[in-house]
């Protein structure tokens, strides 16, 4: 499980949170049992003010044994900033849609991959792991349907460049179980399925179904966000990532150990919702509360 609330979640919230609150969020998630977490992004605070202070967040967290705090880096400058605070893992972000790539990072897919070359090379030199993201894997807000073959090509390029894992993102939450199965099959034909991860948004309530489809196709790594934080700034109405609470509930009830304490996780969700002045909480949290009322 890769917890993305402190980066992919918070960067889409209108309210920017101070470093202290972001550190408390991440420490609470670790206390609940999560071990791989995005801590922030080394991007321009002018464009993503919610990620300002990521360097300080990582300094305060340190690098505790058994826990990986990663950060998104768009270029060498971002990588250098991550290295300066002891980051042992970083992530790069490409798109499977030309329209989205140009809108999101102002360049073509090919140009974005070319930019990542020096980042991967330097990361390899200093022994830092790099994870890749492919956005719009199941649909684009500008061009509509995205062919699985297009996703597979970008996934293969990232894998060949040295990304140890590639997270396939349903950025706008339009995927279905059938489409997810086709996507995984197309990508797994080019790279090992063990190098694939699922990143599903819940716009149409399909995220859990898509996780299940990916699970049945052999995927064993999934991104999620406590309390379903997140969204897509270029797709109004697109909701957040699959809630970590829901993912834990799904996996544990299929006999798959997550190592996460669901009750403590729900408490973290309540905490961060209160800090954002947001009426949130996953369906699982609400269901547990309802069950307690009748027990």
- pLDDT tens profile 51-64: 999 999 999 999 89
Residues in Cβ contact with 177 at an 8 Å cutoff, skipping those fewer than 6 apart: 206, 209, 210, 212, 213
Residue 234: per-residue pLDDT: 57
Give the CB-side neighbour count of residue 46, counting CA atoms within 13 A. Answer: 1
Higher pLDDT, 105 or 234: 105
pLDDT exceeds cutoff 50 at 281: yes
State the Cα–Cα distance between residues 7 and 12, nearest whole angstrom. 9
Per-residue pLDDT, averaged over 242-259, amounts to 95
Share above pLDDT 70 across residues of the chain, in percent, rounded to a whole number: 92
Q: Which pLDDT belongs to residue 97?
A: 96
Catalytic residue, from 87, 107, 232, 293: name it: 232
What is the rounded CA–CA span in Å between residue 92 and residue 33?
A: 25
- 232 catalytic? Reply is yes
In CATH terms, the fold of domain 2-294 is: TIM Barrel (3.20.20)
Q: Which residues contact 139 (CB under 8 A, 6 or more apart)?
A: 145, 146, 170, 171, 172, 174, 175
Two tokens at 115? 């930019």
Helix (H, G, I), strand (E, B) or coil at 201: strand
Identify the pLDDT of residue 106: 87
Question: What angle separates helix 244-252 from helix 283-294, to the nearest 10 degrees?
Answer: 70
Residues in the chain, how many? 295
């Amino acid at each position: 499980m890769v917890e993305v609330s402190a980066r992919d979640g918070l960067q889409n919230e209108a309210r920017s949170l101070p470093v202290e609150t972001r550190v408390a969020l991440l420490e609470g998630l670790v206390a609940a049992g999560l071990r791989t977490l995005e801590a922030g992004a080394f991007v321009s605070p002018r464009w993503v003010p919610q990620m300002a202070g990521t360097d300080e967040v990582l300094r305060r967290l340190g690098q505790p044994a058994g826990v990986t705090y990663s950060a998104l880096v768009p270029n060498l400058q971002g990588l250098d900033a991550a290295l300066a605070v002891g980051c042992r893992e970083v992530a790069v972000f490409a798109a499977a849609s030309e329209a989205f790539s140009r809108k999101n990072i102002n360049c073509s897919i090919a140009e974005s991959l070319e930019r990542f070359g020096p980042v991967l090379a330097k990361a390899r030199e200093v022994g830092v792991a790099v994870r890749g993201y492919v956005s719009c894997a199941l649909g684009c807000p500008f061009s509509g349907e995205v062919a699985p073959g297009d996703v597979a090509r970008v996934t293969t390029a990232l894998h060949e460049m040295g990304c140890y894992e590639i997270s396939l993102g349903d950025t706008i939450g339009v995927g279905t179980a059938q489409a997810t199965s086709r996507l995984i099959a197309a990508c797994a034909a080019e790279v090992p399925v063990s190098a694939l991860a699922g990143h599903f948004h819940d716009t149409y309530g399909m995220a859990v179904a898509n996780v299940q489809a990916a699970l049945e196709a052999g995927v064993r790594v999934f991104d999620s966000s406590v309390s379903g934080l997140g969204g897509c700034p270029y797709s109004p109405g697109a909701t957040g990532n699959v809630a970590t609470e829901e993912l834990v509930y799904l996996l544990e009830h299929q006999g798959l150990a997550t190592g996460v304490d669901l009750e403590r996780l729900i408490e973290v969700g309540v905490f961060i919702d209160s800090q954002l002045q947001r009426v949130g909480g996953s369906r699982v949290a609400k269901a547990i509360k309802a069950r307690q009322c009748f027990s």
